[in-house]
Structures are given as C-alpha cells and as structure tokens.
Amino acid sequence: MSTPSPRRLLGKVVVVTGAARGQGAAEAAALAREGARVIATDVHPDGDCRPLDVTSEDDWARLAAWLREAYGQVHGLVNNAGVTWRARLGDVRPVDFDRVHAVNVTGPLLGIQHLAPLMPPGSSIVNVGSTAALTGHYPVAYTASKWALRGLSKSAATELGPRGIRVNTVHPGFIETDMTASAAPAFREANVRETPLGRTGTVDEVAPLVVFLLSDEASFITGAEIPVDGGLTAHGGVKSVSDALRPGESGHGRTPRPH
C-alpha cells in the first residue's frame, strides 16, 4: 500500500476572497484538502463563508482583528474576488469603470495592506488576474483593472520580498463559472477558437496552481505571472495563421513548400 503524500498546507491559515462560488469555492476546497485552515469570505456569504466586501476597509480591518485574535498569524491570501463589466470603450461609464476597479484592484490592495502585517516569512499571496490582463481584451473596465492588478502584484512582490512574503499572479483563460455563463454564446465560441487546447477550462484546473503557489514548494517563486488558459495567450494572436496553413484544413496547407 502506498503511503499518503503529506498534506502540503498543514498548519497554514489562508484567506480566500470571493469564495462562495466559482473559482474561489474550488480554491477554498482544494486548500482545505491540503490541510490549510481556510477562511472563505464573500460579499454574498453562504453558510461556509464569512462576510467580506473586498472594497470595504472596515470589513478588512474586522477580519484582520479577528484573525489576530483567533490565530495570531496568517500564511496565505488568495485575492480571487472579481467582477466583470462588458461595456465597450465607447460606452463604458466612469462610474462602472471605477466600480470594477474598486473590486478588482483596490480590493486586493486592501487585503494585502491589512493581512501582510500578520504574515510571517514564508507566507504567500496569490492574485487572480485574467488573460484580459495580458491582452487588449474588449471589456475595457475589466481589462484595465486586471492590468492594474498586475502592477499591484509586481510592486507588492518587490515590497514584501525582504520580509519573505511571496506575491504571484495567475491568469485564467475561459473558465466555466457563473461569470462566463453570463456572456453571450459567441464569447465562448470565439474563446474556444482562439485556444490551442480547443476547449474551455474548469475551476479544478486553476485551483491546483493556487495550492502550489501557496505551498512551500513554490518558495523561490515571487512576482511571477502564470496563465492557466489552454494556450490562449501563448500564440500572441497567430493561431488563425497556424490553423489556416495546417495540412488538410485548407487549400493552403496542402502546398509542398513550408510557409
């Protein structure tokens, strides 16, 4: 009989935002399976989540005070909560632009500001970006916010490195959750077309990376950005060229000379 592998996050206290559903719920479950004491939070809490609106300084201050009292320290933070807004450049209203920024950027900032003081060396922060943070994606408020989150992550990695705290970013592609279910079918189809693996992803394909980045196995990784996107951002927009010239898929591909 094989010995069970040791649980990688045993003894670590980890906060996950936006954990009531979608990727956050999967991450919270995966972290708990690895032995972490998970504090799942959400602005729409269910039975297993503590209430926390990431845009509220008071909420973060309350959570930090409770964590200090209950555990004395925190070893991990997953800034997962996020909202999208699909208005395009010509239509987006500043009020919506600011609202998306508040959740997707100011939220993670507040989380880091309030919890980093409770983090001992070896702690780890994971920010959940998006392939929108690596491209000129059309929902401009969302895209701009996720690019800003990249900047926050880089600054935080630099600032907190000397204290032994790591900060990394994961960039999911199209993952099947309520967020993507709310998009038009054409959005899904176009994403699949642009994705070399030819399909969408699941929450259980993002959570293991978050677990790894929170674990000591990632002890020399900080300031990194890792796409989980089936190759969507790897081809830099040239997948259609590759597809057009693939033998058997179009007349061009059958020419004997390579192009």
Ligand X SMILES: NC(=O)c1ccc[n+]([C@@H]2O[C@H](COP(=O)([O-])OP(=O)(O)OC[C@H]3O[C@@H](n4cnc5c(N)ncnc54)[C@H](O)[C@@H]3O)[C@@H](O)[C@H]2O)c1
For the bound state, the minimum distance from the C-beta of residue 144 to ligand X, rounded and expressed in Å, comes to 13
Assess 134 for contact with ligand X (CB under 6 A): no
Of 107 and 118, CB closest to ligand X: 107
Of 227 and 254, CB closest to ligand X: 227
Of 42 and 194, CB closest to ligand X: 42
Identified catalytic residue from 74, 105, 142, 213: 142
For the bound state, the minimum distance from the C-beta of residue 2 to ligand X, rounded and expressed in Å, comes to 34
Degrees, nearest 5: CA angle 73-74-76 = 160
Count, residues near ligand X per rule CB under 6 A: 28
For the bound state, the minimum distance from the C-beta of residue 230 to ligand X, rounded and expressed in Å, comes to 11
The pairing of beta strand 37-42 with beta strand 225-228:
unpaired
Q: How far apart are CA 242 and CA 259, in angstroms?
A: 10
Q: Please select the residue that binds ligand X; options are 180, 195, 215, 233, rule is CB under 6 A.
A: 180
Q: Count the neighbouring beta carbons within 10 Å of the beta carbon of residue 160.
A: 18
Of 87 and 244, CB closest to ligand X: 87
Q: Please select the residue that binds ligand X; options are 124, 177, 195, 215, rule is CB under 6 A.
A: 177
Question: Which tokens belong to 72?
Answer: 């004395």
Degrees, nearest 5: CA angle 52-157-154 = 90
Q: How far apart are CA 205 and CA 228, in angstroms?
A: 8
Helices 107-115, 57-70: inter-axial angle, 10-degree rounding: 30
Assess 43 for contact with ligand X (CB under 6 A): yes
Side by side, the strands of the sheet bearing 13-16 are: 50-51, 37-42, 13-16, 76-79, 124-128, 166-172, 225-228
Assess 125 for contact with ligand X (CB under 6 A): no
Q: Count the neighbouring beta carbons within 10 Å of the beta carbon of residue 212.
A: 18
Assess 168 for contact with ligand X (CB under 6 A): no
Assess 103 for contact with ligand X (CB under 6 A): yes
Does the annotation mark 138 as catalytic?
A: no
Q: Please select the residue that binds ligand X; options are 175, 209, 210, 213, rule is CB under 6 A.
A: 175
Question: Which tokens belong to 231?
Answer: 């190759």
What values do phi and psi take at 35, rounded to 5?
Answer: 100, 0
- Of 3-11, 39-47, 152-160, 249-257, the window that binds ligand X (rule: CB under 6 A) is 39-47
Which residues are annotated as catalytic?
142
Site residues, ligand X (CB under 6 A): 17-18, 20-24, 42-44, 52-55, 80-83, 103, 128, 130, 172, 174-175, 177-180
